[in-house]
Structure 1
Amino acid sequence: MDHDSTITTSPPTGFELHAGRGRFNAAFFRTMAPYLEWTLRWHKRRVFAGLPRAVVEIGSGVGANLRYLPTGGTLIAIEPNRYMHAELRASARRAGVRLDLRERLAEQTGLADHSVDTVISSLVLCSVKDPAAVLAEIRRILRPGGAFRFVEHVVARSGTPTRAAQRILRRPWAWTFEGCSCERDLEHFIRAAGFENVTTDRYRVHTPFLPFNTQIAGIARA
C-alpha cells in the first residue's frame, strides 16, 4: 500500500474562490507551526496522550499534530485547503505516519457511521461554517465510547480586554484566516452536541495574537 493517498471531491467552496488566502494560510501555519506548538504543547500532550494507531483529524493543516500519533500509525486527514497538502504529506513522511488525505469539508467526511475510535482537532472549529453540523458529523462517525479530543480557541469572557479585541478585530480576523471566528463559544457547542460525557479545561495562553489567547482543551466521548 502507498505511504499516502488522497481522495479529492469537488473543490470545497471558498478555497478556490480565494486561492490567495488559501496560499497565505498554508504559508502562515507552516512558518508559525513551531511557535504555536511550543505555546500549546502542554495542553496537546495531555489531551492527545495515548492516541491509537488510526486517528481521524478534522483540519489537519500542515501536520502539526502528527507528532502525537504512533510511528507506523494512520492519519485520516480531512483537509479542504489543498495548498496545505504538500507540507502535510511531507510532515507525514517525516513522522513515519501513513496519510489518508481527503479533500473534504468537516461537515461531510465521507466516512461510515460508527467507524472510528478517535477524532482530533486543534484550532479548527473556529473556522468551520457550521460547528454544530461538524460536531454532529464527528458523533456520527465515532463508535460508541469513542473520543473526540480537541484544543480550540474560544470567545473570552464579557468585559475583558481580550473580548473587546475579539469584537473589534472579528471581521479582518475572519477574512484573513479563512472564516475563523474569534467569538465562538465552542464549549457550549460541544456540550450541546449530544456526547455522553464531556470534560474541558479552560485556560489562557500569552501570544501577540490577543483574540486567540482564550482557549479550551478536552475530551468528548460518544
Structure 2
Amino acid sequence: MSKEINIKSATTSTPGWYQRFFAWLLAHGNAKYEAEMSDRKRELFADLHGNVLEIGPGTGPNLRYYPSDIHWTGVEPNSYMYPYLQQEAERLGLDINIKSGTAERLDAEDNSIDAVVSTLVLCSVENLSSVLQEILRVLKPDGQFFFLEHVAAPRRTGLRRIQNWIQPVWTVLGDGCHPNRETWVALENAGFERVDYQHFRANVPVIVSPQIIGVAVKKKA
C-alpha cells in the first residue's frame, strides 16, 4: 500500500544530534516494554476507526495494533523518527501521513478527528493543559482520546519524593520528560464528558513504573 508523507517544518530547541540519538534509542531500546504492553495496547486500540491522529508517534510502535482501514496521521516534532515510522508502515502495509509539529498546536480542523492517541507523550509536552484543549478541539463530538502514560507516584510516598528530586535532571536527559506529572488529574479537569482509566505498575525503571491507561470521551454535540 502507498504512503502519504506530508512533512512540514517545525522548530525545536533540542540539538539535532540528540534528536537523532533519541530516535535511535526509541527504535532499539524499547522492545521489552513494548512486549509487556502488547496485550494492553491490543485491547486499548481494538475499537479505533475513521480519522486517527497520533501525537508523538515516535518510531511507530503502535502502528501494528491499528486496523488497516483507518486514516492515520502522526504529528511528530522529531524528524529523525520519520524513517523508522515509514519503515514500520511499509512492513505493515499501512497508509500514513506524517506531519511535523507539536501537540500544543495540532495541524487539524476543529471537530475533524474520530480518535486521538497518545502513548508516553504527555509526560514531555511543555503545556499539558494546552495539549488537552487541542485534543478536545480536533476531536469530533463523542470522539475518543486513547492514552497510555507514565505518571507521578502517589503523594507522600518515597517514590514520589525521588521523582520530585530527580525531575530537573531527568527532564534534561529525557527530552523534556517529567516523571512526577499527575496526568490523570489534568485529564479529569480538562472538560471531557467521561474519563475512564486505571493505574498500574509497569516492569520498567522504577522512576517511570507508575502508569495509567484509558480512554477519555468528548461531549456530544
TM-score (norm: length of structure 1): 0.93
CA distance in 2 between counterparts of 1:172 and 1:93 reads 37
Deviations 1:128-151 (A, max 9, x none): 000110110000000000000000
User: Counterpart of 2:86?
Assistant: 89
How big is the shift at 1:72? 4.6
User: Counterpart of 2:178?
Assistant: 181
The letter for the 2-side match of 1:6 is N
How big is the shift at 1:53? 4.5
1:193 aligns with 2:209: no
Deviations 1:99-128 (A, max 9, x none): 110000111112000001100110000000
The letter for the 2-side match of 1:84 is M
Structure 2 SS opposite 1:202: strand
1:200-215 to 2 correspondences below 5 Å: 200-207=197-204, 209-215=205-211
**Which runs of no fewer than 5 residues in structure 1 stay unpaired?**
none
1:1-222 to 2 correspondences below 5 Å: 2-9=2-9, 11-15=10-14, 18-207=15-204, 209-222=205-218
Cα RMSD, aligned residues only: 1.5
CA distance in 1 between counterparts of 2:182 and 2:87 reads 34
Structure 2 SS opposite 1:8: coil
Most deviating of 126-135 and 88-97: 88-97
Alignment check: 8 A CA contact 1:204 1:215 kept = yes
How big is the shift at 1:88? 0.8
The letter for the 1-side match of 2:76 is E
Structure 2 SS opposite 1:114: coil
The letter for the 2-side match of 1:185 is E
How big is the shift at 1:2? 4.8
Q: Structure 1 residues 6 and 33, CA, compared in 2 at 3 Å: closer, same or farther?
A: farther
CA distance in 2 between counterparts of 1:38 and 1:164 reads 29
CA distance in 2 between counterparts of 1:2 and 1:94 reads 11
Most deviating of 133-142 and 89-98: 89-98
Q: Structure 1 residues 206 and 36, CA, compared in 2 at 3 Å: closer, same or farther?
A: closer
Q: Structure 1 residues 210 and 92, CA, compared in 2 at 3 Å: closer, same or farther?
A: same
**Which runs of no fewer than 5 residues in structure 2 stay unpaired?**
none
How big is the shift at 1:204? 0.7
Alignment check: 8 A CA contact 1:73 1:97 kept = no
CA distance in 1 between counterparts of 2:95 and 2:30 reads 21
Moved over 3 A (4+): none
Deviations 1:125-184 (A, max 9, x none): 000000110110000000000000000000001233322331232122111221100010
TM-score (norm: length of structure 2): 0.93
The letter for the 2-side match of 1:5 is I
Q: Kindly tell me the number of residue pairs found equivalent between the two proteins.
A: 218
Alignment check: 8 A CA contact 2:2 2:94 kept = no
